[in-house]
Amino acid sequence: MPEIITLSQSTGSAEEPLLDQTIGSAFDSIVEQYPDDSALVVCHQNIRWTYREYQREVDRLACGLLALGIVPGDRVGIWAPNRYEWCLTQFATAKVGAIMVCLNPAYRLFELEYALNKVQCKAVICAESFKSSDYLGMLQELAPELSSCPAGELQSARLPALNTVIRMGRDTTDGMFNFDQVCAMGGEAERQNLIETAARLSPSDPVNIQFTSGTTGNPKGATLTHLNILNNGKLVGDGMRLTRHDSLCIPVPLYHCFGMVMGNLACITHGSAAVFPSEAFEPEAVLQAVAQERCTALHGVPTMFIAELDHPGFASFDLSSLRTGIMAGAPCPVEVMRRVHDEMHMSEVLIAYGQTETSPVNHMTSADDAIEKRVASVGRAAPHCEIKIVSASGEVVPIGEQGEICCRGYSVMQGYWGDEERTAETIDSAGWLHSGDLGVMDSQGYLQITGRIKDMIIRGGENIYPREVEEFLYTHPGIQEVQVFGIPDDRYGEQVCAWIKQRDAESLSEEDVREFCRGQITHFKVPHLIRFVEDFPMTVTGKIQKFVMREQMVGELSPDR
């Protein structure tokens, strides 16, 4: 008999039906079930709301947005660290049918202008500032017309689609509404409008745009529907076995799917409480929140868990309430997993994998998997997801062979906003999303990530595409040619390295290059290591060999590492 070859393809369970609801409908149904249960705790803002109170505040903002003329399909940007206003914006925009656009809190001018214009944001809701970012100042620099226009009537040369800026905080700024002011705008007409709007919305409507960097230039806006992200959050919560009695500590950023889908939406689909310890990750704030709020679940990337475990006061915090949570964003070392399991009491901690374009999770371990499976793999196909591993020619490879990971199912995005060509490059005619990641599937369907086709750097859980950094650096008049690539780093996994060929008669320093980047691109994209070179290693056909550069840098740094 001929040998039977088992192929690398699998399908997640379909026992539990998908939710055929909008996010607003799902939210309201949970409120009806658990009106007096804890829903949202934001430690740094002294917010503690039950589901009924949360709903009241969401609806106030939703009615305010309707009063401002926001209609279904309008894009509304949210630019802030983790705050209760971010959570309200997520659910209020969903209720009015607007498409919330996630703006990275670390964005600088170059990135902000591109993002707002790419998807034509009609309104933006922003914090005053965060760390070194002066959000209001950056908006005023891009749109100086704010200083002389009535709020809601912006006509900007550089941001032509934007007409409304809503700022958080109590101070007032020319040309901008205050967040609380907007929440107070709605009346009976808007409340009726909200009910009528909800009846017209469909689960297949787009509800969120997440920017994901591109190998071929500027970031792409992955467009996600109610059906996409509501079900992804629900199925992640199912994997964690969340119930109304659980509290999930969320130190990961809301602007990522990790925070807003695997955090907020996992909670509201199970009646669980979402707990935010601080505006951005601080290990002590996380430990304190878990202990004080008796959190049963905790999210994070491996570097976050390492920082918590290594905190000098770790032993003084009672973490015995913890049970589960998601670790994702980077491979987890086995020793870290053991410490999370033993010292943080997270016996059911799960590993998840996916990408923004799949809402994001398409693989997850189960609470019953052995630790070895939770560190050597990213689990099996998530519910309602089809997975296959294919060769360069598109054929499904045998079990145990490496290939590109492809996903098909409910979680695949609608496409990249306003970019049919790049959408077609990612989602094929049969509906398979090609991840650009390489993996190997075993006979039980467990997937191991082995590398990536895409030229991507992962620094501390943040995806960085060298092409995007290169294109920005090319705007410097003193740079003739530049190549950006990742090199290994003990703390962050990888760091950004740039090799730069200068123009004749130019004399740049490393600090000159970094100063050029400051205020224009996100801090984690700024090259950590810079080398000025005369030439780049190339093949005989003239193709630049980044792997040679990477090897040279690793060799150069190894004595000091």
Checking if the pLDDT of 302 tops 70, the result is yes
Q: Which residues contact 32 (CB under 8 A, 6 or more apart)?
A: none
Would you say 432 and 407 are in contact if contact means Cβ atoms under 8 Å apart? yes
Question: Would you state the pLDDT for residue 1?
Answer: 41
Q: Is 383 domain-assigned? A: no
Would you say 84 and 40 are in contact if contact means Cβ atoms under 8 Å apart? yes
Q: Is 494 domain-assigned? A: yes
Give the CATH number, domain containing residue 524: 3.30.300.30
Structure tokens at 130: 């965060």
Beta bridge partners of 48: 41
CA distance 539 to 398: 32
**Measured CA distances, 183 to 70, 121, 179, 180, 264 (Å):** 13, 20, 6, 5, 21
pTM: 0.86
Question: Taking residues 180-192, what's their average pLDDT?
Answer: 98
Domain boundary among 169, 201, 233: 201
Question: Taking residues 169-176, what's their average pLDDT?
Answer: 97
CA distance 287 to 295: 10
pLDDT category at 218 given cuts 50, 70, 90 is confident
Least confident of 166-180, 259-273, 502-516: 502-516
Checking if the pLDDT of 213 tops 70, the result is no
In tens, the pLDDT along 412-431 reads 999 999 999 999 999 999 99
Q: Is 340 domain-assigned? A: no
Question: Would you state the pLDDT for residue 433?
Answer: 98
What letter represents residue 113's amino acid? E
Question: Taking residues 144-165, what's their average pLDDT?
Answer: 98
What letter represents residue 164's amino acid? T
Q: Which residues contact 492 (CB under 8 A, 6 or more apart)?
A: 303, 459, 460
Structure tokens at 340: 């999370």
In tens, the pLDDT along 483-533 reads 999 999 988 989 999 999 897 666 899 999 999 999 999 999 999 999 999
Burial class (CB in 10 A: 0-12, 13-18, 19+), 47: middle
- 3 state DSSP class of 414: coil
Q: How many residues does the chain have?
A: 561
Sheet of strand 479-489: strand arrangement:
479-489, 493-502, 529-532
Would you say 94 and 194 are in contact if contact means Cβ atoms under 8 Å apart? no
Least confident of 69-73, 136-140, 442-446, 504-508: 504-508
Q: Is 548 domain-assigned? A: yes
Checking if the pLDDT of 3 tops 60, the result is no
pLDDT category at 215 given cuts 50, 70, 90 is very low
Largest distance between two CA atoms of the chain? 82
Would you say 104 and 356 are in contact if contact means Cβ atoms under 8 Å apart? no
DSSP string, 473-505: HTTSTTEEEEEEEEEEETTTEEEEEEEEEEPTT
Q: Which residues contact 506 (CB under 8 A, 6 or more apart)?
A: 478
In tens, the pLDDT along 20-43 reads 999 999 999 999 999 999 999 999
What is the distance, to the nearest Å, from the Cα of residue 47 to the centroid of all Cα atoms in its chain?
A: 24
User: 543 or 125: whose pLDDT is higher?
Assistant: 125
Q: Is 446 domain-assigned? A: no
Domain boundary among 201, 225, 254: 201
pLDDT category at 542 given cuts 50, 70, 90 is low
Question: Would you state the pLDDT for residue 450?
Answer: 80
Tell me, letter by letter, the H, E, C secondary structure of 43-84. HHHCEEEEHHHHHHHHHHHHHHHHHCCCCCCCEEEEECCCCH
Question: Taking residues 439-463, what's their average pLDDT?
Answer: 86
CA distance 179 to 95: 17
Would you say 144 and 162 are in contact if contact means Cβ atoms under 8 Å apart? no
Question: Would you state the pLDDT for residue 2?
Answer: 42
User: 451 or 78: whose pLDDT is higher?
Assistant: 78
Structure tokens at 426: 């990612």
217: DSSP letter: E
- Helix and strand numbers, DSSP H then E, in the chain: 18, 29
Question: Taking residues 421-444, what's their average pLDDT?
Answer: 95
Checking if the pLDDT of 186 tops 70, the result is yes
Q: Identify which of 298, 305, 233 has the alpha carbon closest to the alpha carbon of residue 264.
A: 233
Q: Is 217 domain-assigned? A: no
Q: Is 131 domain-assigned? A: yes
Q: Is 149 domain-assigned? A: yes
Checking if the pLDDT of 333 tops 80, the result is no
To the nearest 10 degrees (0 to 180), the angle between helices 84-96 and 188-200 is 70
CA distance 227 to 231: 6
DSSP string, 502-519: EPTT----HHHHHHHHTT
Domain boundary among 176, 201, 226: 201
Average pLDDT, the chain: 93
Checking if the pLDDT of 452 tops 80, the result is no
CA distance 493 to 145: 43
Q: Identify which of 177, 143, 175 has the alpha carbon closest to the alpha carbon of residue 160.
A: 143
Which residue matches tokens 């570097």?
303
Would you say 259 and 279 are in contact if contact means Cβ atoms under 8 Å apart? no
Question: Would you state the pLDDT for residue 451?
Answer: 72
Question: Would you state the pLDDT for residue 336?
Answer: 86
Q: Which residues contact 244 (CB under 8 A, 6 or more apart)?
A: 33, 34, 37, 270, 271, 272
To the nearest 10 degrees (0 to 180), the angle between helices 334-343 and 302-309 is 50
Domain hosting residue 120, numbered range: 23-31+49-201
Would you say 151 and 176 are in contact if contact means Cβ atoms under 8 Å apart? yes
Question: Would you state the pLDDT for residue 505?
Answer: 60
Q: Which residues contact 2 (CB under 8 A, 6 or more apart)?
A: none
CA distance 382 to 12: 5
- Number of domains forming the structure of the chain: 2
In degrees and rounded to multiples of 5, residue 485 shows phi and psi of: -155, 170
- 3 state DSSP class of 168: coil
Question: Would you state the pLDDT for residue 481?
Answer: 82
Checking if the pLDDT of 156 tops 90, the result is yes
Give the CATH number, domain containing residue 101: 3.40.50.980
